[in-house]
Amino acid sequence: MKHFRSAILFTVFYLLLSLTIFAQSSKLYELSSINFEGNNEFSDTDLKSIIQSKESPFWLWRFFNSFTPFGSPPTYFDSTEIKVDLVSLKSFYSVNGFFEVDFSYSYQLDSSSRSAELTYYISEGEGFYYGDINLFGLEELDYLQPFISPHLNSLGINRFTQVKLASKIDEVLSVLKDKGYMLATFDSTKIIIDTLRNKTDLDIYFTPGNHYRFSEIRVIKKGVGKDLVSDELIKYVTNLHVGDEYNEQEIAKSRLRLARTGLFNSINLKGFVDDTVGNKVPLNIESDIGNLNDLSPEVFIDNEFNTSNVGVGLSYVRKNFFGDARKLTLSTKFKVNDIQNIKLFSSSGRDSTLQTQVDISLLLEQPFFFNRAISASLEAYYKTYNISTTPFENEGGKLLLAVDMPSHTFINLLNPYLSFDLLGYDVISVDGESDFSPRNTTAIFGFNVGSTTANDIFFPFRGYNLNQVIELALTRLKITTDNPQVIDTLGFGEDDVGLYYRLQTMISEYIGVSRDDNTVIGVKFKIGYVQTFVGSDELIPPNQTFFSGGANSVRGWRARQLIPLERINSIDDLNPAVENIRGGTFLIEGSIEYRRKFDEVFGFNFFIDYGNTWNGYTDFQFNEIAVASGFGLRYYSPFAPFRIDFGWKVWDPQEKITLLDRAFWQAFEFHFGIGEAF
């Protein structure tokens, strides 16, 4: 009986508690929307990201959250958060140069839908601009003014922001630390707001400390290979000497040169502050040297030929090969190209030929060549692969130099190179009886010149990349055939020599459009041109022509699909059914992409791609530019982004039809890829 009464009391208590919780929850209102009025300078998205109040998530996320650990729970209106929001808004506007801003608010509660709508009204006032800037603590360093002044003068008539001010202070500190003031620090800033001029006058205080030079270069080694790499070699690569002025930029370059050798598991260079004597400081080079012999199997994904390829490989690496920090790499790879085009993925009507490739290469890298500012690599390679049903053999070698460019110059990438390339393939004539084997032998002298300010390799949200390829090539085309008469129909001989130049420019820019830097607009434009000096265009090797379509190109088409409709008189004419061997001599291509990370490792994008190839710029026509649109999903792994893109042909210049003129899925292509499309 006693247990029965206890059970009844517990049940009554549970019901009362449930009713209380239900009554409380019934008084809650979901915050359906947050609105801003009067915010001319900053977007709603920017302002929403800094306040504590948050809109209730999309209904689908709430639905998932109701029965799974995924999605997001509803967000409820809390009037006590408004005061916190107003403080956050006031602070945000202040640090961005708006010191006379006023705020008010209102909210509406809808009892029928149990929802709330919150609105903030903003009177921004006038923005304040940079006024007089005075530096204190550097009075005795007048000789550094020519180096410091350009950084502060660039503020010009810009509106005051604390972020920009902080970056300029960091730039002044970098100048000091590159000129020997190793312990220079920023103390404080006094901001004087002049409401009559709408200016912010600044007094900035620094403590430069002593001027230092290196008293000693110390090498501290550990690791299994520490006895196989000499101290003298490490010091030579750094190119830093006793008596040199302390310079953080030169230390960073030395660290990069050392890392480029591949000898070290870790490397660090720093002035040893605890051992300074007067104006002298020792430089410690701390290194962990690993095994000098590596044998590594690998599984990889790449985008060679603008297709998605997977494969396996094996490589042997010998570090410090014959001394001087040389690195020898021997590798072999087997892969399947264009994996989404194999039978497992391809739809009926698509060519599902298995396209395989075998690569063998030898690479010798020298971290300093002629001098420490130039590194070199010498590569020899052999490749055999097929494109559709056409077998190719490609062998050759390449000497590539990498010149260390100053970080403050516009051009910060300079790679001259000299290559020798042999390309051969077999074509069966249309009658099926004659075999033709063209072979191009090409010597190329070129430059890869670039400028980059993009702030991240995997997910850039600020800056640009500019790349220019300039090549001058001498080529020889030799044809082996069992039917010499057919060569007469091609317009050139069995053994002809040509001279041509090749230009290619690509620029991409990244614009962050949210304060959390997770939303980016990316824009790409690419143009290329090949022109012969001696001989006809038929002599240009097929792998030196341009193709469009594929995982990093116009994503509504498969790789190499967008080639000129009018073929030049070439070996391809012997069998028109053989496709995609030769591209065009003129290329235009571009993309506009919206990228959003909704998690640390997951994201999505929407894109519009356009482009095509032609036989010379005189054949270019606007209505022949292919246009594709679509979306993609991203997984940002620790070592590279993986992506899958779904593209549709919006305008097909080959068929002269739009997306609406064909079945939806007939206009569809999908692509796997590693790394962003640009």
Question: Does residue 17 have a pLDDT over 70?
Answer: no
Domain 129-207 in CATH 3.10.20.310: yes
CATH of 27-123, one of 3.10.20.310, 3.30.70.1230, 2.40.10.10, 3.40.50.620: 3.10.20.310
pLDDT band at 575 (very low <50, low <70, confident <90, very high): low
Least confident of 311-315, 444-448, 509-513, 664-668: 664-668
CATH numeric code, 213-289: 3.10.20.310
Question: Does residue 184 have a pLDDT over 70?
Answer: yes
For residue 57, the model assigns a pLDDT of 83
Q: Is the dihedral of CA 343, 346, 349, 351 positive or negative?
A: negative
Q: Is the dihedral of CA 68, 71, 77, 78 positive or negative?
A: positive
Residues 418-436 have a mean pLDDT of: 78
CA distance 176 to 171: 9
Question: Does residue 351 have a pLDDT over 70?
Answer: no
Output phi, psi for 147, to 5 deg. -90, -30
Q: Is the dihedral of CA 575, 581, 584, 588 positive or negative?
A: positive
For residue 615, the model assigns a pLDDT of 92
Contacts of 525 (CB under 8 A, 6+ apart): 506, 507, 508, 589, 590
Contacts of 669 (CB under 8 A, 6+ apart): 555, 556, 557, 558, 646, 647, 648, 649
* Axis-axis angle for helices 162-178, 248-260 (nearest 10): 80
For residue 372, the model assigns a pLDDT of 74
- The amino acid occupying position 83 is K
Give the pLDDT confidence of 64-103 residue by residue, as tens digits: 777 777 667 888 999 999 999 999 999 999 999 999 999 9
As a residue count, the chain comes to: 678
Residues 194-203 have a mean pLDDT of: 91
Residues 172-179 have a mean pLDDT of: 94
Domain 406-678 in CATH 3.40.50: no
pLDDT band at 15 (very low <50, low <70, confident <90, very high): very low
The sheet with strand 129-136 has its strands ordered as: 129-136, 199-207, 185-194
Q: Mean pLDDT score of the chain, rounded to an integer?
A: 86
CA distance 470 to 530: 10
Is it true that 213-289 and 406-678 share their CATH fold? no
3-class SS of residue 370: coil
For residue 23, the model assigns a pLDDT of 41
The sheet with strand 264-271 has its strands ordered as: 213-222, 280-289, 264-271
Share of the chain above pLDDT 70, in %: 88
Domain edges within the chain: 27-123, 129-207, 213-289, 292-404, 406-678
Least confident of 266-270, 512-516, 575-579: 575-579
3-class SS of residue 537: helix
Residues 439-458 have a mean pLDDT of: 93
CA 640 to chain CA mean position, Å: 10
CA distance 479 to 571: 9
Residues 392-407 have a mean pLDDT of: 90
CA distance 53 to 34: 8
CA distance 232 to 283: 15
Residue 191 buriedness (CB in 10 A; 0-12 / 13-18 / 19+)? middle
Residues 222-242 have a mean pLDDT of: 91
Question: Does residue 5 have a pLDDT over 60?
Answer: no
CA atoms within 13 A on the CB side of 482: 8
